Structure 1
Amino acid sequence: MSYYIMYLRKSRADDPNETVEEVLAKHERILQNYAIMNYKSKIPEENIYREVVSGETIDDRPEINQVFMRMQDKDCRGVLVVDPQRLSRGDLIDCGTVLRIFKYTNTLLVTPRKAFDLSDKYDEKSIKNELMQGSEYLDYIKEIMARGREQSVLLENNYIWPTPPYGYKKIKDGRHQKLIVDPAEGPYVTYAFNRSAEGIGARKIRNEIEAMGAKPRKGEHFEPEYINKILQNKVYLGCLCWQKTKTIKIVKGKNLVSKRIHNSDYIVIEGTHEPLIDEKTFNAVQAQHRRPRVRTNATLHNPLAGLLKCKVCGSSMERKTAKGKKPRYFCRKGQYCKNRSTTMDLVLSSIINALKEKLEDFEILVTNDTTNEIEQKRKIIDAIDTKLSAIEEKQNRLYDFLESGIYTKDVFINRNELLEKERTSLIAEKSKIESGLRSIKPTKEKIASLHEAINLLESEETSAENINIFLKSFIDVIYYEKSHTSEDIQLEIILK
């Protein structure tokens, strides 16, 4: 039985004072009334797709991709939208994708004013023009909005970003948005700058301001990285920075992705709000950040540096040595994490035992595989690749037959489904065989690595730096945990 589906999405052309939910509900009422008048029944809930994300491209909108999947069902008769531009206001590639899918699935594009059949050349041309106009309109709107934001900041000195920086509140006075000092947070920012200018590090500053009562807006504790970001932000001088970062488009594989990068030519607007620190203090703090950290001892003493992680909170484990005591591993979060410390000797001996257990597993895997089986599996994969190439050629010919009118839509769908089922089955079979092959060669390599790792860890002559370099060559991470109720430690070794 044929059926229709509905696609709802808010666009920039809608009333900006209405929420996404309000816009979608209004459009749903319009389309449901159309469905009742023309199809004598409402569109059921399972056939309604509501796009709540604001992605500009098809890849960024999960619901439209679900719609495209449903359109491949031969019983799907059409898609109801308020206007065609709800489907795409992206670039020419996205517009072409929409046209191609509607045309070759023979699905109607239904709007309250007209139902478009893209197998008809006049309807296809009409929809193509609307999508192209939508794409041009989107570029125009984005340019206008960018210009408006720039003028709001540069000419009216408005703080247009949604969240004010720590230490400030954002107030609205008519159309103007300004920053004012937050009396609860501001003093902690000033204190942090003064302490940093004295040479105190971010971690100690964090501990001091939390002891004084400071609370982050999210989470339970300040991260040292967050403190460092505060200490490098010119907003605390009473300035606004415009275009400190910018978005560029780069090509990754076949996809165009957005990437934010630092802009060295950003604009600084001075005197826009009350400062929390003076320029002399700010410059002293920046000098502290530019000063390179010089280690008093350049020799690495921690063989697990960069490998050992806290399983409770995910932070790195640090090696610390108290005078007259053995080195111990502590979680970097210190008093904020419940994971207990342990001596380095106990951790290393536990790692040796764990590696020996893994070594036995790998040896069992190797003895279960033979050279003949490997060769046979490779021949099967070659045969599958030949079959997949033949199926791809057949599917390409199907589209030619459909476009030329040799095949009807039903014949095309039936034959394409058979080929797709065969292709999926072959790919699954190939993946299974390849997985078996991958478990053979890497296993043999890791056996040699584990043997060598155990010898290195058990040897007192090998330096910590050499052990660390070798372990990182085949171990991704080691998770450590020790509870307050047990003296035993738990390790989880993840191999690369």
Structure 2
Amino acid sequence: MDLENRTYDIRYVANYLRKSRAESMEDLEKHRMVLTELCIKNSFKFVEYMEVGTSDSIDMRPEITKLLKEIEDGVYDAVCVVEYDRLGRGDLGEQDRLKKAFQKSETLIITPDKIYDLNNDIDDTYADLKGFFARQEYKMITKRLRQGKIIGARRGQWTNGIPPFPYVYQRYRDKYNEKGLVVNDERMPIYREMIEKALSGIPSQKVAQSLNQRGVFTPKGNYWSAITVQRLLLDETHLGRIISNKTRGSGHKNKRPNAKNYEAIPKSEWTVVENCHEAVKTKEEHDRIVAILSSRKRIPTKSRKQSHVLTGLVKCAKCGHAHTIHLVDCKAFVRPCAYIDPLGNKCRNKGILSDTLEEIILKEISKYQSEIINSSETVDCQQSDNIRAEISEFENLLQKYKKALETVNDAYELGDYNREEWQTRKRKWQKLVGQTEDEIYEMKKIYQSNQNISDEERKQNLINFLGNIRTMTDNVQRNDLYRTVIESIVYLREGNTIDVKINFK
């Protein structure tokens, strides 16, 4: 091939095809035709590499990664592309990586209207200009896409990829929601089954197993998993709302060197748009499911086996974490709290003989039954006051964390910290602020869920509990019976003084 009075001996080439964001597979076929005709016209023997992904990072594009290694090994005389920027529109580091591979192996780049020899100063400069403008164009496109996604979400449009089960995008039979979600009626009974079972206390793992055993699979034909079911149960899209601004940064294992670290944004800062599509669960159902799953999440994995009557029920009054149960010489003990906070402080709430604690609990439940029968309104008020007091404590703690964050920022401005130390301290307090805000959010959900149980249901559950708890011998059955009337047991021991507060359902 002769171009611009230069002669090249080109026999073996690679045809690299990559679909950009705005293009279809039909466009990719047109590009393939152009490159194939180019090779036939010039008698090139060619191997094709086709990339469908749209990432600008080389490491996230398997075909260009494979091709780049073969270029470095000198396998090809040239690489054919429809436009120079098809090889990549990454940052300067990415473009330099591509250029060095072509320069060291003396591999050419061929487009339908030009040959680039990157060891030639003129071609090298021209390639730099092409790369610069391609990068600027890419940055503008991605910026507009991000802005469009944010604006679309705030308008109530679905911009989050594949819709969560049982929804589909825009249309199902005679249903239509422009740029929104509609319910797939065939999937709806399966989703409602998940909700009903979760509300009855059946774990997500058993819900998934039940569906799999009956041959009811995911839309992609895969088995259901506990994680998938739990995500669907907690997804607030099913309330008819669209939520955006939940995270920032990249969590990809091969993210670009200059990419921001992945970070979950506190729920208080999310953007929530209501009434965007048909809801498939009620707010009350969602809050109860959150409460059920939150209580299970705080229970250590071994404790979920319900090997003892109080397994998973006893929580530390100092830190809110679960106490575990262990056996010593055939006697059950509530272990001392082993929690250590993010600052390294140990909780140090002491343990107790399980039988001793259970007798205290049974007396409190009997007392509660008398109070709810005589004056359910007073008990409800007391219970509400206890939960509100706990929320208030966390809100006070939140203000302390925010104050500490302000102090760190002020100290940096005064020159007390260098930038690296400031960023480390700032991230620590920001994380604590976010965790505490999420804790308050979950507690408010539990509080709201508790209000949904009627006084009559409470009375019947208490009658059933007190009539059977002392006659049952199976620990699993006794634990299940406790869970019909108790959300948690808040336990504190200082010396020989024992304080027990029960959060009733």
Report how far residue 260 of structure 1 moved: 5.2
Q: Which residue of 1 aligns with 2:281?
A: 277
Determine helix, strand or coil for the equivalent of 1:277.
coil
Distance 2:130 2:256 in 1: 26
* Distance of aligned partners of 1:104 and 1:233 in 2 relative to their CA distance in 1, 3 Å threshold: same
In structure 2, relative to structure 1, the CA distance for the partners of 1:158 and 1:219 (3 Å cut) is same
d(CA) in 1 for partners of 2:157, 2:131:
35
Q: Which residue number in structure 2 is paired with residue 288 of structure 1?
A: 292
Q: Who is 1:227 aligned against?
A: 229
- Is 1:163 paired with 2:190? no
Partner of 2:483: none
CA 140–211 in structure 1, closer or farther in 2 if over 3 Å, else same:
same
Q: Secondary structure at the match of 2:77?
A: strand
**In structure 1, the residue corresponding to 2:218 is in which secondary structure?**
coil
Please name the residue that 2:78 is paired with: 78
RMSD after superposition: 3.5
Shift of 1:275: 1.2
Matches within 5 A, 1:288-367: 288-291=292-295, 292-293=298-299, 296=308, 298-299=325-326
Shift of 1:119: 2.0
Structure 1 residue 142 displacement after superposition: 0.5
Distance 1:129 1:182, change over 3 A: same
Alpha carbons of 1:214 and 1:50: their partners in 2 closer, same or farther (altered >3 Å)? closer
- Contact residue 7 and residue 64 of structure 1 kept, 8 A: no
Between the aligned partners of 1:36 and 1:199, the Cα distance in structure 2 is 67
Q: Distance in 1 between matches of 2:262 and 2:148?
A: 21
Counterpart contact for 1:170–1:177, Cα < 8 Å: yes
Shift in alpha-carbon separation, 1:195–1:81, aligned structure 2, 3 A: closer
Contact 2:201-2:292 within 8 A present in 1 as well = yes
Residue 7 of structure 2 corresponds to residue 12 of structure 1: no
**Is this contact kept in 2: 1:239–1:268, CA < 8 A?**
yes
- The 1:214/1:107 distance shift into structure 2, 3 A limit, reads closer
Structure 2 counterpart of 1:243: 245
Change (3 A) 1:168 1:11: closer
| Deviation digits for residues 75-122 of structure 1 (CA, Å, limit 9, x no counterpart) | 843222212111111111111112222223222222222212222212
Whichever residue aligns with residue 126 of structure 1, its letter is Y
- Counterparts in 2 of 1:288 and 1:81: CA distance versus 1, 3 Å: same
Aligned residue for 2:109, secondary structure, equals strand
Match of 2:195 in 1: 193
* Aligned twin of 1:23: 27
- Partners of 1:247 and 1:128 lie apart in 2 by 28
Q: Given the two structures, how large is their TM-score scaled by the length of structure 1?
A: 0.51
Read off the aligned partner of 1:225 and give its amino acid letter: I
- Between the aligned partners of 1:249 and 1:256, the Cα distance in structure 2 is 13
Aligned 8 A contact 2:117 2:124 in 1: yes
Specify whether residues 54 and 224 from structure 1 end up closer, same or farther in structure 2 by C-alpha distance, changes over 3 A only.
same
Q: 3-state SS of the aligned residue for 2:326?
A: coil
Q: Is the 8 A contact 1:80 1:110 kept in 2?
A: yes
Shift of 1:255: 5.5
Tell me if the contact between 2:16 and 2:79 (Cα under 8 Å) persists in the aligned partners: no
Question: How far apart, CA to CA, are the structure 2 residues paired with 1:228 and 1:126?
Answer: 54
**In 2, Cα distance between equivalents of 1:174 and 1:8:** 40
What amino acid maps onto 2:65 in structure 1? N
Cα distance change, pair 197–28 in 1 and its aligned pair in 2 (3 A): closer
Q: Which residue of 1 aligns with 2:131?
A: 131
Q: In structure 1, how many angstroms separate the alpha carbons of the residues matched to 2:203 and 2:251?
A: 37
2:18–2:53 CA contact under 8 A, matched in 1? no
Give the C-alpha shift of residue 136 in structure 1. 1.5
In structure 1, the residue corresponding to 2:180 is in which secondary structure?
A: strand
**In structure 2, do the counterparts of structure 1 residues 200 and 273 end up closer, same or farther at CA, with 3 Å as the change threshold?**
same
The alignment of Structure 1 onto Structure 2 pairs a total of residues equal to 292
Q: Distance in 2 between matches of 1:161 and 1:250?
A: 17
Tell me the CA shift for residue 125 of structure 1. Answer: 0.6
Range that drifts further, 250-259 or 274-283: 250-259
For the Cα contact (< 8 Å) 1:235–1:241, is it kept in 2? yes
1:179 paired with 2:178, answer no
SS in 2 for 1:248: coil
In 2, Cα distance between equivalents of 1:115 and 1:300: 78
CA change 1:205–1:33 in 2 (3 A) is closer
Tell me which amino acid in the other structure corresponds to 1:167.
P
SS of equivalent residue, structure 2 residue 250: strand
Partner of 1:230, secondary structure, is: helix
Q: Which runs of 5+ in 2 are unaligned?
A: 1-8, 312-324, 329-505
Residues 397-433 of structure 1 show CA distances to partners (whole Å, capped at 9, x for unaligned) of xxxxxxxxxxxxxxxxxxxxxxxxxxxxxxxxxxxxx
Distance 1:261 1:150 in 2: 17
* Of 66-75 and 249-258, the range deviating more from structure 2: 249-258
Query: Take 2:254 and 2:50, find their aligned partners in 1: how far apart are those partners?
Result: 29
For residue 216 of structure 1, report the CA deviation from its aligned partner. Answer: 3.2
SS in 2 for 1:169: strand
Encode CA deviations 1:317-351: one digit per residue, 9 max, x unaligned.
xxxxxxxxxxxxxxxxxxxxxxxxxxxxxxxxxxx
Q: Distance in 2 between matches of 1:174 and 1:192?
A: 25
Return 5+ residue gaps in structure 1 as ranges: 302-496
CA distance in 1 between partners of 2:73 and 2:201 (Å): 67
Which amino acid in structure 2 is aligned with residue 136 of structure 1? Answer: Q
User: In the superposition, relative to structure 1, how do residues 299 and 62 fare at CA in structure 2: closer, same or farther (>3 Å)?
Assistant: same
Shift of 1:218: 4.1
Find the aligned partners of 1:174 and 1:58 in 2 and give their Cα distance.
Answer: 39
Report deviation, 1:126.
0.6
Structure 1 position 68, deviation (Å): 3.1
Q: Cα offset for 1:257?
A: 7.2
Name the SS of the counterpart of 1:103 in structure 2: helix
Change (3 A) 1:124 1:234: same
Give the whole-Å Cα distance in 2 for the aligned partners of 1:5 and 1:94.
22
Deviations 1:338-392 (A, max 9, x none): xxxxxxxxxxxxxxxxxxxxxxxxxxxxxxxxxxxxxxxxxxxxxxxxxxxxxxx
Q: Measured at CA, do residues 113 and 204 of structure 1 come closer, stay the same or move farther in structure 2, by a change above 3 Å? A: closer
Paired residue for 1:148? 148
- Secondary structure of the residue that 1:122 maps to in structure 2? helix
Q: Distance in 1 between matches of 2:70 and 2:213?
A: 57
Give the partner amino acid of 1:6.
A
8 Å contact 1:71–1:107 — kept in the other structure? Answer: yes
1:23–1:169: structure 2 CA closer, same or farther, 3 Å change rule? closer
TM-score normalized with structure 2 length: 0.51
Deviations 1:24-56 (A, max 9, x none): 33223323433444x3x1x334x3322333332
